[in-house]
Chain A
Amino acid sequence: MITKTGLRAGMALGAMLTLPMAAIAQPANEAAPAAAAKATYSPYAARKYPMRPLFGDTHLHTSASADAGAFGTMLGPREAYQFARGEEVMASGKQPARLSRPLDFLVVADHSDQMGFFPDLQAGKPELLADPTGKKWYDLIKSGQGAVAAMEIIGSFSQGTIPKALVYAPGTPAYQSAWRNMINAAEEYNEPGRFTALIGYEWTSNTGGNNLHRNVIYRDNGDKAIQSEPFVTMKPWGSDDPRELWKWMTAYELKTGGKVLAIAHNGNLSNGRMFPIIESFSGKPVDKDYAEQRAKWEPLYEVTQTKGDGETHPVLSPNDEFANFERWDFGNLDASSPKKKDMLEFEYARSALAKGLKFESELGTNPYKFGMIGSTDSHTGLAAVEEDNFFGKTAPQEPSPERMTATFMNNPKTGIKIMDWQVGSSGYAAVWANENTRASIWDAMQRRETYATTGPRMVVRFFGGWDFSKSDIQTRDLAAVGYGKGVPMGGDLRAAPAGKSPSFIVAALKDPIGANLDRVQIVKGWLDAAGKTHEQVYDVVWSGDRKVGKDGKVPTVGSTVDVANATWTNTIGASELVSVWHDPKFDPRQRAFYYVRVLEIPTPRWTAYDAKRFGNTPLPGTAMTITERAYTSPIWYTSGG
């Protein structure tokens, strides 16, 4: 496999001894304020902060996931790691696939329920075929109707109707060997400093088709992870209640001395359950215990992925002209129940962050104090979400002339129909880790020093403090100033000095091979004295000499996209945007959060590349351009803290 991928992979293998971050040197004449307390001769010696974000995917399924396997995914975790490391692999549809650049890390997060079920079903294990449903799925798969089987598997799992004989539960030899196989694969491909294979799984709580999924990510190596099997939702072995997952996490840490965290995703398919004020399992209001547990175990939220973007929704943010983005608001995960407007506020990150402030004022803990990451949730074993290199969400959606007009999901009972073109080519997780190791990446996740991108690898810095000024951004090393005088994304500002309002350094650098940037915004949310939450989006820095309009907004950057040829030019936008921003309406008594949204200039969406390369005609209404973006973890201000 390596032999074919040539120089790049070879270089990469050899690079394992080098920590990439260490390579970026700091200008010699400028001492980092962070290190100013005790100056060292070597300007590198005291530097304790990351110089380059690591890009990866925290949410990739392989053939070990029952539904992915049924969809026809042949790639297991080893192939997934090879691909993420930059090697060329053969996709399930037998076409070669390769990333433009390697990723720095990957979490293979296969569904804990039924883990390993699919390889056995595919192999035709007699026990599975003895069951009529198992036999039916097997026949469907063998007759080339894997997608139908996959939908049935997801459906029967969501609705709890999966036959007893087909349950793969912890404690069974089949399950144990499946988990051991996942761990072994991660151990084989984990190369500290070069490529990190974090151990993880997805806990797929999906009662009634309402998505409450969480990815569990281990800080630990295989020796600890193997000591306990993943938590499942299937009773009696597991539960679909997040509180029970948190108990399992507690028990794991007690038993092994290890560390785990959980990342929820796709609130947009939870039908109002992802960020509750009333717990759906008990029917009781969220209490102090729930708030504390959730805050403890879930420091991050996956805010963008193939099944839609989760930052905010036009109904929730009517004044945000960029809110209508890669929207999936049809219903729940299996399209068995349609969406109602009043569900939205409990599904999206921005409104949840605001609700969190209110909870904190009432319960003393903010259950929704999360940072942001993006990931793929691809079920192909391929973490490929660049628009010009999108390998789809499931194996049938790998590049083909059919995928742009095919149906992804169709529930005649609810009338919900989702087309393949609506699947988004998104996203990745960017992590400000000091080193490319399991421990270092996990620690950065835990302190929320992360951001989400919808695919491009832009570099985004965000620091909050009380003393940032314009002169700070003239420096050649923003990070030194940022860490020296403030806190990075994911951090806290407390106790405002009298008469001061918080100041923020925002800085964004375009993807080295990507599109220019349109603008950088700060999204502020706050809680007023009456207990009401508010939000506002500020344009902070933008390309060109556009003047703020009467509506207070910066006019659109325009577009250079040639849809027919799937091209664009960097003749508009800026390659780099940096600024210092002061909150003009700061009230030291009000709790608030601030996060950064970076917008690229419009570029061709994956559908445009498909239309160009396959020469086919998109369905009416197909989105052909995209405004790619990044969302940082917030910085919170807490009064009197």
Chain B
Amino acid sequence: MTPTEPAPADLTDPDAAAGASRGRRWLREPLLHFLLIGVALFMFYRALNGAGDEAPRSMVISESRVDALAENFARTWLRPPTAEELRGLVDDYVAEEVYYREAIAMGLDRDDTVIRRRLRQKMEFVTDDVNSAVPVTDAQLQAYLDTHREQFVGPGKVTFEQVFLSRDKRGDGVERDATQLLERLASPSPPSLLDVGDATLLPGSMRDATPADVDNTFGAEFAEAVMKAPAGQWSGPIVSGYGLHLVRVEKIEPGALPGLAAIRPAVEREWQAQQRRQAKEALLEQLLSKYDVKIEGPLGDAMRAAATAGAAEGKR
């Protein structure tokens, strides 16, 4: 595609769109309905009589439309169109508009998946755009944070030491060794930590570690166990994929909710995602409310049966 081709979104003339919104109130007038029915009957009988000489329908190409065509041309060719070229552009636009109207009138858009999807997408884009256009305030984010605390509460933090006993090295005796060592560590004159346990690549201690940190290093079961271990004393053994561990937890801090300032980008991201989702759902809901959808065939029957059953369940 060329860089400056008009967006395919530009199918409706803005002037026409404005007219349509003004005209909407008229659409509800009974007089109008009466007139329309009359016109329809008139057309119907004319059609039956095979008359093809109906009055031409009007197509107004506004000045702003012509200007837009010229501008588009200029963006591609980096110069304004000549008078002849401009006439060509307008002619082409008229042809496009005629085909467009006739195609719509013949319902050619209805069975075309491409056009249907594209239109749906445009509707969804509209809601997306509406959302991203609105700047979010701190108050909104604070409200979101307050109602979604569980998403943002910081994890607990644990500080502990551990002594490792390798199953690889000690074999079946590892449990017995662990029990004995636990007793020694708990005694009034405990041995130095450097002299006990087996050397390992695992850290001997972790400071202010989140459960995720502990999980990444020792595995999930160890992480869970250490978060429950009593503070200020040696306990265990805790089993990990590596062997046995005696642990002494220094402190466990419960998770806290950080202030908005500290996590604003994350809150905003989640808020935006929620807004997009909600706007999309709301739009669909609103549009759906205008329709009474009936699905035919066995599937429809099954769905209705399920809905009725669900409603009965709800009443009970």
* Residues of A bordering B, CB below 8 Å: 1-3, 8-18, 20, 22-27, 29, 44, 51-52, 101-102, 123-129, 138, 142, 165, 171-174, 188-189, 191, 457, 459, 461, 473-478, 507-514, 543, 570, 574-576, 578
CA distance A232 to B218 in the complex (A): 44
A34 CA to B298 CA, complexed, in Å: 76
Q: Is the CB of B3 within 8 A of A9?
A: no
Nearest B residue (CB) for A5: B151
Closest Cβ of chain B to A81, distance in Å, is 10
A198 CB to nearest chain B CB (Å): 17
Q: Is the CB of B114 within 8 A of A129?
A: yes
Which residues of chain B have C-beta atoms less than 8 A from A171's C-beta? 3
User: Which of B53-61, B65-73, B229-237, B262-270 contacts the other chain?
Assistant: B262-270
Contact between chains at B194 and A14 (CB < 8 Å): no
Contacting B217 at CB < 8 Å: which of A24, A44, A475, A570?
A24
Question: Using a Cβ cutoff of 8 Å, how many contacts connect chains A and B?
Answer: 174
The answer to whether A52 and B217 touch across the interface, beta carbons within 8 angstroms, is yes
Give bound CA distance, A8 to B113, whole Å: 41
With the chains together, A306 CA to B115 CA distance in Å? 38
Contact (Cβ within 8 A) A1 B201: no
Q: Kindly state the separation between the CA atoms of A18 and B263 in the bound complex, as whole angstroms.
A: 12
Q: Would A25 and B207 be within 8 Å (CB), given that A15-B212, A18-B157, A174-B1 are in contact?
A: yes
What residues of B have a CB within 8 angstroms of the CB of A514 in the complex?
Answer: 241
Residues A23 and B210 in contact in the complex (CB < 8 Å), given A14-B153, A476-B194, A514-B241: yes
Please indicate which of the listed interface residues A14, A17, A128, A513 has the most CB atoms of chain B within 10 Å of its own CB.
A14
**CB within 8 Å for A509 and B208 given contacts A13-B151, A15-B154:** no
Residue in B closest to A29 when the chains form the complex, CB atoms: B194
CB-CB under 8 A from B168, the residues of chain A are 543, 574-576
Q: Which of A1, A17, A27 contacts B154 (CB 8 A)?
A: A17
Is B8 on the interface with A (CB-CB < 8 A)?
yes
Of chain A, the residue at the smallest CB distance from B193 is A27
- A20 in complex: contacting residue of B167, B202, B216, B262, CB < 8 Å: B216
Q: How far is the CB of A17 from chain B (nearest CB, A)?
A: 6
B3 touches A10 (CB 8 A): no
Contact among B209, B215, B263 for A24, CB-based, below 8 A: B209
Q: 21 A-B residue contacts at CB 8 Å?
A: A3-B151, A10-B150, A10-B153, A13-B263, A15-B154, A17-B262, A20-B209, A23-B210, A24-B207, A26-B204, A124-B115, A125-B1, A476-B199, A507-B201, A509-B201, A510-B242, A512-B215, A512-B241, A575-B241, A576-B242, A578-B199
From B209, B265, B273, contact of A1 by CB (8 A): B273
- A507 to chain B: which residues have CB within 8 Å? 201
Q: Report if A15-B155 is in contact (Cβ < 8 Å); known contacts: A124-B117, A172-B1, A512-B217.
A: yes
Contacting pair A13 B3 (CB below 8 A): no
A358 CB, min distance to chain B CBs, angstroms = 36
Q: Check if A11 sits within 8 Å of B212, measured CB to CB.
A: yes
CB of A2 within 8 A of CB of B218, answer: no
Residue from the set A125, A128, A138, A457 with the largest chain B CB neighbour count within 10 Å: A125
CB pair B242 A13 closer than 8 Å:
no
Q: How many residues of B contact A (CB 8 A)?
A: 62
| Known contacts A459-B201, A574-B168; A510 and B241 CB within 8 A of each other | yes
Pick the residue among A18, A172, A189, A474 that contacts B3 (CB under 8 A).
A172
Q: Please name all residues of chain A whose beta carbon is closer than 8 Å to the beta carbon of B217 when the two chains form the complex.
A: 24, 52, 512
| B220 CB within 8 Å of chain A | yes
**In the complex, residue of chain A having the shortest beta-carbon distance to the beta carbon of B160:** A25
Is B3 touching A575 in the complex (CB atoms < 8 A)? no
Q: With both chains docked as a complex, state the minimum distance between the C-beta of A104 and any C-beta of chain B, in angstroms.
A: 8
B218 nearest CB neighbor, chain A only: A512
**CB-based nearest B residue for A23:** B209
Do the beta carbons of A9 and B151 come within 8 Å of each other?
yes
Min CB–CB distance A285 → chain B (angstroms): 41
The reply to whether B1 and A128 contact each other, CB–CB distance below 8 Å, is yes
Do A16 and B213 touch across chains, with their CB atoms under 8 A apart? Answer: no
* Residue in chain B with minimal CB distance to A100: B220
Give CA–CA (A232, B266) in the complex, Å. 33
Residues of A within 8 A of B258 (CB): 14, 17
Bound-state CA distance A105–B1 (Å) is 36
Determine how close the nearest CB of chain B comes to the CB of A109; give it in whole angstroms.
22
Question: Closest approach, in angstroms, between the C-beta of A510 and any C-beta of chain B?
Answer: 7
Tell me the smallest distance from the CB of A453 to a CB of chain B, in Å.
Answer: 14
Bound-state Cα–Cα, A397 to B298, Å: 33
Given contacts A2-B270, A174-B1, contact A509 B121 (CB under 8 A): no
Bound together, the chains give a CA A99 to CA B187 distance in angstroms of 43
Contact across chains for B194 and A570 when beta carbons are under 8 A apart: no
CB distance from B232 to the nearest CB of A (A): 17
Instruction: In the A-B complex, list the 10 residue pairs whose CB atoms are closest, starting with the nearest.
Output: A14-B154, A512-B219, A11-B155, A23-B209, A124-B114, A127-B1, A25-B205, A24-B203, A509-B201, A575-B242
B142 at the interface (CB under 8 A from A): no
Known: A16-B266, A513-B219. 16 other contacts (CB 8 A): A3-B148, A9-B151, A14-B152, A14-B155, A18-B157, A20-B209, A20-B212, A101-B215, A123-B118, A124-B117, A127-B5, A188-B265, A457-B216, A476-B194, A508-B201, A575-B166
Contact residues in A for B118 (Cβ distance below 8 Å): 123-125
Any chain A CB within 8 A of the CB of B38? no
Give the nearest-CB partner of B149 in chain A.
A10
Q: In the complex, are the beta carbons of A513 and B199 less than 8 A apart? A: no
Q: Which of B2, B157, B216 contacts A52 (CB 8 A)?
A: B216
* CB-based nearest B residue for A457: B216
- Smallest CB separation, A32 vs chain B (Å): 13
Q: How far is the CA of A16 from the CA of B206 in the complex (A)?
A: 18
| Residues of B105-121 contacting chain A, CB below 8 A | 113-115, 117-118, 121
Which chain B positions have C-beta within 8 A of A44?
Answer: 207
B240 at the interface (CB under 8 A from A): yes
Which chain B residues (87-125) contact chain A, with CB distance < 8 Å?
Answer: 113-115, 117-118, 121
Query: What is the bound-complex CA distance between A170 and B263, given in angstroms?
Result: 35
